[in-house]
Amino acid sequence: MKIPKSILIDPDRNETYGAFAVVVSVIAFAYSPNFGQILILAYYAVWLPLLFVDYRRFTWRLSTAWLPITLALYVCLSVFWSQAAGTSARAALQYSSHIACAYVAARTVSVRTLVVGSLIGIFLVLLYSMKVGGYALDIMDGTVNFVGAFGSKNQVGFFASLGIFLCLAFLVFYRRNWLGFAWTAPIMLLSVYMLAIAHSATSVASLPAVIGVVSLLTMSKVLALRYRRVLFVIGAGALVMSVVAALNMGLLDVVLGIFGKDSTLTGRTYLWEQGWEAALQHPLLGYGYAAYWVQGFADPERLWAEFYISTRSGFHFHNTYIETLVEIGFIGVTLLALVILRAFYGHVSKVVFGDWSADSVVLAGAIGLMLIRSFFEVEMLGPYFMASFIVYYGLFRLTPLPAFRRRRVAVPADDDRSANGRVPAPG
């Protein structure tokens, strides 16, 4: 039996396969540390073979992806100056292949299908965490929080906040009938509950900000193009002023105080200082990709001991840009920052300065969520993270998709056939 290409790579006809592939990806991003390589292999299996279905679809305007390709090549080149070359080589291959999977997804899966698949995957992920029901002591603030099957309250908060955002996005932009309310209601309720018990300040604080940005972009649909630009300038100015006010008038302490924290973030500022000092040792190129947190080196061993990390793994500086500066230096952090900003601004500018698009509004909101989290978490630098997958997907979606080519076979009408099935000559 021959499977039509369209049900695999045509965004208009592959909703079933696309949603399935996204569900597998979300589960792999969440629980590959728990279940090992089987989930990573499943993640590769749903995306990479599509390259061989129609290679022209993926080579069309490939040059527009020069920025993430440059970052992937630079990460791979860091092997040559890495203090742990073997670790860097393996991690660089994983990160590059992760970017490739996001590229395949962007060329084959519509934004609506991504939202639907992500919601189903998040529901399954949160259900499993609720079944495990794990709690853990947070060394950074001394509280006991729900961590589910993750071992981190911030990961529970991330998937819960993303679930809430995507539920709202689906209901506003992609719902086709009343059934949309029925099947998203359990996901919304579970996400709200899990976000509440996880006590993740980063996840709770970032969600209203992103919903506000998306609301402004949504309302701009009724405005003429010139008024959208005015709204964009005013909104950007208000955002900058809000940040300044939060830093200088104590508003940040008020927000963090709701969660029993203070502006030191209970240890994060110390980690940032330590990361900055480490970065100054190799400011241009860094220690090598994934080559800092390696067992046996003095500085990471000291930090693991100070923060009671008995496993001596799975730790970072709680800031994407400091972590990147340490690992791959000023050049690397510049490239990564350009990737995130290009993806976010690209979709915002499409809405504000071009033709209004629901897909761009949703992707701007999702990438904006990752942008806010990048100042407190490290989810963009490593492979197999939902955050990096969404950002790279959004970046690649800035390039218009090629039209899907369907082969058409001319079949003569039955009346024109002779008794032996051959078409008679004219006349």
Alpha carbon distances (Å) from 249 to 9, 91, 242, 287? 52, 42, 10, 38
Query: What's the whole-number average pLDDT of the chain?
Result: 86
Tell me if 364 sits within 8 A of 372, measured CB to CB. Answer: no
**Could you report the per-residue pLDDT of 186-220, keeping only the tens digit for each?**
999 999 999 999 888 888 888 988 998 898 888 88
Structure letter (DSSP) for residue 400: P
Which of 113, 196, 126 has its CA nearest to residue 163? 126
Q: Has residue 242 got a pLDDT over 70?
A: no
- Reported as a single tens digit per residue, the pLDDT across 85-127 is 999 999 999 999 999 999 999 999 999 999 999 999 999 999 9
Burial environment of residue 211 by CB neighbours within 10 A (0 to 12, 13 to 18, 19 or more): middle
Whether pLDDT at 421 is above 50: no
pLDDT tens digit sequence for 327-363: 999 999 999 999 999 999 999 989 888 888 999 999 9
Select the highest-mean-pLDDT range: 265-274, 282-291, 347-356, 401-410.
Answer: 282-291
Specify the pLDDT at position 22: 98
Q: Which residues sit opposite 138 in a β-bridge?
A: 143
Residue 167 clears pLDDT 80, i.e. is over it: yes
Give 33's contacts (C-beta < 8 A, 6+ positions apart).
314
Check residue 315 and give its pLDDT: 84
Locate tokens 């939060």: which residue?
Answer: 246
- Tell whether the model's pLDDT for residue 391 goes beyond 80: yes
Q: Alpha helices of 265-319 — where are they, by DSSP H?
A: 268-279, 298-306
Is the pLDDT reported for residue 367 higher than 50?
Answer: yes
pLDDT of residue 125: 97
The pLDDT, as a whole number, for residue 71 is 97
Task: Transcribe 149-202 into DSSP letters.
Answer: TTT-HHHHHHHHHHHHHHHHHIIIII--STHHHHHHHHHHHHHHHHHHHHT-HH
CA distances to 20, 123, 190, 260, 352 from 185, rounded to whole Å, are: 20, 11, 9, 30, 31
| Confidence category of residue 422, pLDDT binned at 50, 70, 90 | very low
The pLDDT, as a whole number, for residue 1 is 58
Confidence of residue 411 (pLDDT cuts 50, 70, 90): very low
pLDDT at 305 over 80: yes
pLDDT at 157: 93
Structure tokens at 361: 């509004």
Band (pLDDT 50/70/90 cuts) for residue 248 is low
The string of pLDDT tens digits covering residues 43-54 is 999 999 999 988
- How far apart are the C-alpha atoms of 14 and 422, rounded to whole Å? 37
